[in-house]
Structure 1
Amino acid sequence: MTRDELAAAYAAPARHYHNLAHIEDCLAALARAEGLSAAERETLSEAIWWHDAVYDPTRTDNEERSAELAEQHVRAELRQEVGRLIRLTKTHDVPPGDRLGAILISIDLSILGADNARYDAYEAAIRREFSHVAEDDYRAGRARVLRRFAAREVIFPDPVFAASFDRQARANLARELAKLS
């Protein structure tokens, strides 16, 4: 799968948030991250490009399928680490001391700490991706996910992202939870 084919996958019509704009936002956040070696940047860049390569909101194995696809296409010496990083995006849980995992997960979740207008657009895009789910079921499921993030002591496992985004993320989560209840 070439980068063009991968970009085309992100351009599928049913992708309202998990699309090429999300990948570009993640790559921009990676570009701002400091203190990374060239090898670490390459690994994280590949993980970003592939982490949502497979996205079907009716399935629960998207991260595993994306990781497997990445492992078939990235350079051999990156495969294991890129696959491992992508698998972290299923739960967004990062083991202590996993610096690259902390950065990737913080980048993936950075939308939670966006300004109100951008967060509201994200919220609407997620709802469109789950348009197949009845309103009451969506509200209950979405609230469950948001409460899980809000209950975390640390939403963003990377301390730089936490310092930048935690307060706004908590405000956004509270605002959306209020709308869902």
Structure 2
Amino acid sequence: MTRTQGREGAALVLAEDLDQCRAGFGALLARADLPAAAAAELRRRYGEPHRAYHDAAHVGLLWLRHLLHGGDPGDRDFALALLFHDAIYDPMAKDNEDASAALLAQLVPGDTTWAQDAIRATADHLAYAGTDCRVQRLLDLDLTPLAELPDVFARNTGFLRREYAAVDEARWRAGRGAVLARFLEAPAIFRTRLATTYEARARENLTAALAELRAAA
């Protein structure tokens, strides 16, 4: 199969075009029908200079993949969860998800309980023990970048390294290696039908990246 054939190819090639991904973020903002002040705050936050990976393009990519894989474009709760899941991001903090859920509650009127709970579940994708299929889909979408084409996976690794610029190389390699190993040790990385597209490729990327880290140690 070529880089552009089939749904799998289309989903993966999306990540190569950061402008298209940023446009997806704009489409998601429109779909979420937020108060103007909330939309402006999200644009500001996702444009913060310390973000290289966890930015508007990342969120837009996940929304476009959600649609490409048959997701419901009218599910506003899901759109809110996806839109706010990285709204607050400090690489050195441990409470980003709680803070992002709280920001959603602060900025968006009405009952956002489900979306807040879904955001909190993204604090540890592998630890989620619930059976809510929509939460599982959110978690899976957030992990699809593990399965990018090799050049995009390498680009994303570079973006993540920039976000952790305050961490020295030895600590970065140790922390990154631990994260990759934990995903590889899991019986399954993906819980939904997205596994058909992303599971095998993610394991290939993770195995290669972990081997590279260990060789450089």
Normalised by the length of structure 2, the TM-score is 0.78
Aligned partner of residue 194 in structure 2, secondary structure: helix
Q: What is the match of residue 208 of structure 2?
A: 175
Instruction: Tell me the residue number matched to 2:165.
Output: 131
Residue in 2 that maps onto 1:120: 154
Contact 1:50 / 1:86 at 8 angstroms: preserved in 2? yes
Partner of 1:89: 122
1:34 corresponds, among 70, 85, 108, to: 70
Moved more, 87-96 or 46-55: 87-96
C-alpha distance 32-51 of structure 1, shift in aligned 2 (>3 A): same
Query: Quick check: 2:67–2:73 contact (8 Å CA) kept in 1?
Result: no
What residue is the counterpart of 2:181 in the other structure?
Answer: 147
Alignment partner of 1:99 is 2:145: no
C-alpha spacing 1:133/1:32, structure 2 compared with 1 (3 Å): same
> What's the % identity of the aligned pairs?
32
- Cα pair 2:52 2:163 within 8 Å, conserved: yes
Residue of 56, 80, 89 corresponding to 1:55: 89
The amino acid of 1:131's aligned partner reads: A
CA displacement at 1:10 relative to structure 2: 0.5
Partner Cα distance (1:68, 1:129) in 2: 23
Alpha carbon RMSD of aligned pairs, Å?
1.4
CA distance in 2, matches of 1:37, 1:117: 30
Are residue 2 (structure 1) and residue 38 (structure 2) matched? yes
After superposition, the C-alpha distances for 1:18-54 in whole angstroms (9 at most, x for unaligned) are 001001101101212326483xx21111111100010
* Unmatched 5+ stretches in structure 1: none
- Matching residue's letter, 1:147: A
SS at match of 2:191: coil
Equivalent residue pairs, number: 177
Aligned to 2:144: 110
